[in-house]
Structures are given as structure tokens and as C-alpha cells.
């Protein structure tokens, strides 16, 4: 396994991040345990989850699965760099629509953190991430809340997800005034099929030393060989159909290129994200052990400048703003 530091921190994480969103809804608890054990055996130490995963409001099913797995001992918790998120509605029962059971107010940050710690049977979270930007909360409130949790030892680092570039800049500038480390990571939707973050988010992250953790690096499965009947996650059924209809020629060219390399499209797509200097680790979301083990091939693929040029010819990149649209 290859390791790198998380953004500008000294924290070492694996170049592949194990996404757990399938644990519960699509993968049984027993299979989830097996996948996590195998991930550790393979050297993957970076696990990502969210309080909302499991998709039963307020229950945190996926976090509960991780908690039961940690409780088995064997230094499982100590070996894992644990990342989770807050923002989405977590009230249930007569609290389902009650105020302050979502977003990132100081009150909800405190409650959400304690609930996640309880579900995951741990006393700290390595990387606590805001799942989305919440424009109503001033950064003074947000950073004050996170600083309290850091002082209590409940969280170590703070990250964002689905933020715009100016959100990242504003958050870190406000943090700097408080002598706070600020955001160290940004989880963004990034793949060959959606390269939008290259316009502003990636340059901002690179400038501030914020490591990018791409989610959906296979474009919902369409980069995994969908033209030959592979890839295409069930939850992205409509998306897959739309992309095939609108970008079928590109996908066919992509798969032909991968065939010339003698590699599986999914592995090349992951290798491409890893090759970007601002990327810390793409998130892989295996439903099976076979998918997990197959992902490791991406770490062995070396893409040359010629390869990148051919890929860019298929999926055109974005220039940094304003050059992309100004001249």
C-alpha cells in the first residue's frame, strides 16, 4: 500500500480511502466486517463514513456497523484513520422535523459528534467533515464549535465536502485569524466524467494545502466499462442511462484506450485521480471483497504524459479560472 499525508497535515493515510456507504443498505453486516478486515490486511487505513449513511433517518446504521466492528478489538480502531460527516437530518420519531437536528449550528455540531461517537463506540474522530456548506451559520460559530470538540479530544481534524472554492478560502481565512488549522481536506465529486472542480476548487485546495478526497471517482460506474456491460451502480441507474445516451462515443473511446493499455477501465480511472497532485485518496465503495481487492491495481498503473494527453482528448479538462472562460 502507498501512503501520503492528508493535505498539509502530518497524518499518513492510504492512497485509497474505503467508503462505507454500501454497508447496511447493499452489504450485510457480516460482509462489511469482512471487507473492513481485508482492507486492513491490504494496508488501507483510511475509512470514510457519515452519520446519515444507512438511509434510515436518525439511525446511523453504517456508523453502528463500524462501531460493532471496532468493538471486536484487535487494534481495529487504532489502525484506522476514521472520517465521518455531519449536516443531513438526523432527528427521528417525533424529532424527525424538529429544528436543530441538522446542518452545522454549534448546537447540532455538538449533538451530532456525541451521537457519532456513541454509534461508532469510540472516543474520538480523526477527521470530522461538514457534508455540505451551511450558509446561515457564521464561520465564527462553526469554528468555535469545532474548537471545543478539539479541546475535548473528540475530534482531531476538520474537513469539508461539496464546498465551493470561495467557501474553502473563507473558512480557512477565518480559521487562520483564530490560530486554528482550519480545513485540511475537501471531499468533492471528481472523475473524468465530471472535472468541474479543476476550474476553482482544486486550485483553491492546492493553495491552502487542503487534500482532495474524490467521491464517485468512477462517475457512478460509467467509467468502469459500462459500454461492455460492466460498472453502472444501481443507485445511478438513470444517471448511467443519461451518460450513455449523451456521451456514449466518449465512453467507447475511453474503453478502447484502456484496452490498448491492457487494463480495466475502473483501474485506470482510479489511477488517473491518484495521479493528480492535489488528490489525497479517491473513495472506493466496494460491495464485495473482490471489488476491494481489484481496486489495488490502480496503485500500480503509471500514466505517462502521452497517456494523459490521450485521456484529455477524450474528456477535456478545465483550465483554472478565469483563463477557462476569459481567454
Report phi then psi at 119, rounded to 5: -65, -40
Tell which residue, 186, 201, 193, 208, has the closest CA to residue 246: 193
Dihedral angle at the C-alpha atoms of 32, 34, 37, 42, nearest 10 degrees?
-100
Give catalytic status of residue 53 as yes or no. yes
Residue 269: which residues within 8 A CB-CB, separation 6 or more?
191, 192, 217, 218, 219, 223, 224, 298
Residue located via cell numbers 473492513: 36
Catalytic hit among 3, 53, 128, 208: 53
| 130: region left, alpha or beta (phi > 0 left; psi from -120 to 50 alpha) | beta
CA 174 from chain center: how many Å? 24
Q: Beginning with the edge strand found earlier in the chain, give each strand of the sheet holding 155-161 in spatial order.
A: 211-215, 183-189, 155-161, 125-130, 81-86, 46-48, 17-19, 283-284
Does residue 91 contact residue 97 with C-beta atoms inside 8 Å?
Answer: yes
Find the angle CA(75)-CA(76)-CA(77) to the nearest 5 degrees. Answer: 95
Catalytic residues: 53
Amino acid at each position: 500500500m502507498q501512503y501520503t499525508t492528508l493535505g498539509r497535515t502530518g497524518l499518513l493515510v492510504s492512497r485509497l480511502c474505503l467508503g462505507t456507504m454500501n454497508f447496511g443498505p447493499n452489504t450485510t453486516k457480516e460482509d462489511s466486517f469482512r471487507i473492513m478486515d481485508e482492507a486492513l490486511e491490504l494496508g488501507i487505513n483510511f475509512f470514510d463514513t457519515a452519520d446519515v449513511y444507512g438511509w434510515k433517518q436518525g439511525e446511523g446504521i453504517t456508523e453502528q456497523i463500524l462501531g460493532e466492528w471496532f468493538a471486536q478489538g484487535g487494534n481495529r480502531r487504532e489502525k484506522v484513520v476514521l472520517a465521518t460527516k455531519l449536516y443531513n437530518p438526523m432527528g427521528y420519531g417525533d424529532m424527525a422535523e424538529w429544528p436543530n437536528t441538522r446542518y452545522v449550528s454549534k448546537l447540532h455540531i455538538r449533538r451530532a459528534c456525541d451521537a457519532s461517537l456513541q454509534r461508532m463506540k469510540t472516543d474520538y474522530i480523526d477527521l470530522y467533515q461538514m457534508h455540505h456548506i451551511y450558509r446561515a451559520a457564521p464561520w465564527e460559530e462553526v469554528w468555535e464549535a469545532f474548537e471545543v470538540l478539539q479541546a475535548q479530544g473528540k475530534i482531531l481534524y476538520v474537513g469539508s465536502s461539496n464546498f465551493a472554492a470561495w467557501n474553502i478560502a473563507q473558512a480557512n481565512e477565518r480559521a487562520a485569524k483564530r490560530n486554528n488549522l482550519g480545513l485540511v481536506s475537501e471531499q468533492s465529486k471528481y472523475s473524468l466524467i465530471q472535472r468541474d472542480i479543476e476550474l476553482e476548487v482544486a486550485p483553491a485546495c492546492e493553495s491552502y494545502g487542503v487534500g482532495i478526497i474524490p467521491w464517485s471517482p468512477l462517475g457512478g460506474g460509467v467509467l468502469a466499462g459500462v459500454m461492455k456491460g460492466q460498472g453502472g451502480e444501481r443507485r445511478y441507474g438513470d444517471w448511467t442511462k443519461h451518460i450513455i445516451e449523451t456521451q456514449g462515443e466518449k465512453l467507447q473511446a475511453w474503453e478502447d484506450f484502456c484496452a490498448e493499455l491492457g487494463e480495466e477501465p475502473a483501474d485506470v480511472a482510479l489511477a488517473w485521480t491518484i495521479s493528480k497532485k492535489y488528490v489525497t485518496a479517491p473513495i472506493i465503495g466496494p460491495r464485495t471483497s473482490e471489488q476491494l481487492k481489484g481496486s489495488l491495481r490502480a496503485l500500480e498503473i503509471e500514466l505517462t504524459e502521452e497517456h494523459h494527453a490521450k485521456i484529455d482528448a477524450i474528456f477535456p479538462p478545465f483550465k483554472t479560472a478565469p483563463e477557462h472562460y476569459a481567454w
